[in-house]
Every structure is written in C-alpha cells, then in structure tokens.
Structure 1
C-alpha cells in the first residue's frame, strides 16, 4: 500500500516537473524508472553503471595486492578498505568475488549456500538482507552491478529482484503488525533460577516497551503460534480493538479470548510463577 502511494506521488511529481521544466522532467522520469526497477535504471548497464560478468567479478578477491569486490542483491561494492576481513585469509573472504546474498542470512558459507537465489528466504531473512544492503551502501563504494539472478548483462532487472522487492514489502508489513501487537500486548519481564524456578512480571517498561501502565501477566496465544508468550495486559479502560468506546466495562484487554491466566497466579497479581515443565 505504502509502495503504491509512493509510486503515485512520484508520477504526479513528474507531471508537475514536465509543466515546469522539461529537463527536470527527464531527471524525474529517470528516477522513477530506477524506483520501479528495484533502485537502478533499466538501462544503467549500457550508460553509466558497469555490469560485471560473474567471471569478471571473480577476479576481485584481493589476490596479489588487488582490489576486493563483492556483490549483494546484484549490486557490487568495493570493500578493499576492509581487505583484512574480505581479502585472502580474512574471516569473510568467502564473500569476495561473488554474489553470495543468501549466505548473509542463512550462515551457509559453502558452495551450496553462497548463491544469489533468495527466493526461499523467510520474511525475517529478507529484512536481514535489507539491513546488510544498508550497511554496504553506507560504508563502502557502489561500483556496479553483476550479471546473475538480479540483473541481466545490460543492467535490466530480472525476476529475482522483483521477488526480493515483493518479499521485502511483505516482510515490512509483517514487522509492522508484530510491532503493533507488541505495543498492545508488551512482552513480560522474566527470570529463572535453579532454586526458585521461573517467574514473569510486568512493569511500566517491559519488552522494551515504555508506557504509563504496568499491566498483569497473561499467556497470550497468537494465530499460528505453537505456544503462548507472556504478555502484559491493560486492566483498565476500553479494549484495544475499540479504544474510542464509551460503553466499555473498564477492564482493558482482560476479556480478550486469546489470553489465559497463568496457573497458580492470582488474577490481579503483577507477578506470576512459571509452571514447572
């Protein structure tokens, strides 16, 4: 949804640019094409961005004092300044000279795992790749594209880039839903000791969520979850699904059907012992 809105805004901006200055319009359209094609111009390889073949890229491993390049999601970065990490004998030398995108998040640093096929990665792993991409764009120099799963020999985007962008949009949406859920039902504090066993409790800052209420611990069952997590639940005010309600029971989210009381714990207690397994 956000991506569609951004695209509409960009199109309108190009229309206004044309009315104002045709030269500005050309720049705007070029930027729009880059957005649609995953961040790069469809014709970038033939104009101002070098497109490496896999064989060419494989020569940049820092051997004999040479430069070190690596590729991530089809983009090539000069990581020579990090040669002690990426060059011969470095802890990440297996990334040099190739696009091993999948391995950045799977940890499979072998021939099978160091590939540019990201189609089977989970949403969480896709977010991890986006973080790696931001890291390289910030700390290293972009020097071109590599012909492979993401771009063709002319720098045009291939289906793998479209798969990545689609997965990334889905991953960000999923993350927003999880973050919103944690705002409504913040994770509990927890501790465990061999003598006393485990316990969970609520405070005005648990699970990294600061708020003006502490709540009480409950077992929170989510759709698709194999087991419940501990959530701190509001005990006053309207329920989260209808915060504007004027005719509520002033019980917060206590009546949510996805919540269960911990065994051997009083309903009003802000601390509960964990059941022994």
Structure 2
C-alpha cells in the first residue's frame, strides 16, 4: 500500500506575494469608491455615462437633482432591468407619470398636482434611505455651486403644503368613519356599515391635492342622511346597511 503523499508546502515568498496582491486589490477598491462615490457636482453629460452600460462604472440616477448610486440594484437599473430608463439621468417626472419614453423622461414637474409633487419628494426620501448619495446634478435643481435653486425650493414647498393638506383631510375624514368594503371577481364589490348607512361623499380637499374631486364611501347616522351632497349608491335601498357596487 502506497504511503500518503505529503502536503505541498507554500513558500513564504508566495504567501507574501498573495498578501501583497490582496492588499493592492483592497487599496484599488477603496480608491475606486473614493473617486466615484464621494458626493460631488455632476453635469448632465457626466451623469449620462453612468447608465449601467459601461463595465466597471457604477450605475447612477438623479431625482430632483440629487444623484444616487444604485449599483447594488443592478438587476433592476442595469440594461434589461425594469428601471433601466432611470439610469444615467434625472427623470423625476417619470416617477409619478409612468411615461418612460421620450419627453416623459424629464426632470421637469411643471403641471403636476400637489400630490404628485409630494410623491416625487417621497421617492427622493426613499433613495436617500436605501442608496448611496453621490452628489448633486447641476441644472434645474442645483446651481453651479451646488446651491438649491428657486425651482427646487418651490417643489419642496409645494410638497410640504401637500403633506399638510393630506393630514388635514385625514383628520376631517376620521370624524366620519369610512365604509367597510370587499371585492371578488365572482361576486363583485360590496360596501357596508356596522353602524350607520353607506353614502358616497365628495372629498373637497382633493381639488387642492390632485386638481380633481373624488368620492369616498362613509357611514352616516340616520339623522345625518339629509345633509347636502350625500349620494345613495345606485340600486341600493335608502336605509340599507350594505350596497353592491
């Protein structure tokens, strides 16, 4: 029976070489991170290079002029990913418009409602909390010194007003409980009240928030049913506690 072979000994020079190589790679990685991820000012042209199509470069996107490194989400933001249209540009409007082509991929929020503007600001907060802040994009939202422009201040002010209006609306609506509701493909929809009777009521606060008036289902006591503006669901009895919708 042959005797087992002796384990090969790694020479000290080889170990030292491997250690040096590892240290060199670590240093290069740190230099790369410092060079590319340190927050700085970006131009539109520079940002466009970081769209995930160049191996070795991080993937960046802008929102309201803030630039974020989203490389860790490469499967989403890289080529072929569902959010690749955001990479290498500031397409703030598309975060709420859903228009990911042509003129839809713009940083302009002109004409958006208060709630839509607030939603874009909320998206910026999302990226602040989950991704690496890489700097500011010179243009609509930040000047050449990195100072916020009047446009950015206006957007943030509008979003703040939206948050205040939304909170006020929630407080007012809490005074009149909303209906319970359910829906299934087989049976359709139903609304009902444990106490009171279901009525459709307008949400006037939506005019300031969305530019439109919507309705919600709320439960009113019998003595409140004569209030102006209450709408009975179609084909529903006046004093029915549940209605098909």
Whole-angstrom CA distance in 1 between matches of 2:44 and 2:122: 24
Q: 2:200 aligns with which of 219, 225, 241?
A: 219
> Alpha-carbon deviation of 1:173?
2.1
Gapped runs of 5+ residues in structure 1? 1-47, 204-213, 236-250
Q: How does 1:238-253 map to 2 (within 5 A)?
A: 251=223, 253=224
- TM-score computed with the length of structure 2 as normaliser: 0.70
Name the structure 2 match of 1:265.
237
If asked which structure has higher relative contact order (CA below 8 Å, sep 6+), I would say 2
| Conserved 8 A contact 1:118-1:160 | no
Aligned to 1:55: 45
Q: Secondary structure at the match of 1:133?
A: helix
Q: What residue is the counterpart of 1:232 in the other structure?
A: 219
Asked which structure has the greater CA Rg, the reply is 2
Residue 240 of structure 1: aligned partner: none
Deviations 1:64-104 (A, max 9, x none): 23211111111111111111211222221111111111111
Q: Does the CA-based 8 Å contact 1:265-1:273 persist in structure 2?
A: no
Partner of 1:8: none
- Provide closer, same or farther for how the CA distance between residues 181 and 61 of structure 1 changes in structure 2, counting only shifts above 3 A: same
Residues 53 and 153 in structure 1, CA contact (< 8 A), matched pair in contact too: no
Q: Is the 8 A contact 1:119 1:164 kept in 2?
A: no
Which runs of 5 or more residues in structure 2 are unaligned?
Answer: 1-37
User: Within 5 A, what are the aligned runs for 1:188-199?
Assistant: 188-190=179-181, 199=190
Cα shift at 1:132: 1.3
Moved over 3 A (4+): 190-199, 221-229, 253-256, 260-264
Q: How many residues are matched?
A: 200
2: CA distance, partners of 1:196 / 1:92: 36
- Please state whether the residue corresponding to 1:65 is helix, strand or coil: coil
CA distance in 2, matches of 1:98, 1:227: 34
* Corresponding residue to 1:115 among 88, 106, 113: 106
> Residue 74 of structure 1 contacts residue 146 of structure 1 at CA under 8 Å; is this kept in 2?
yes
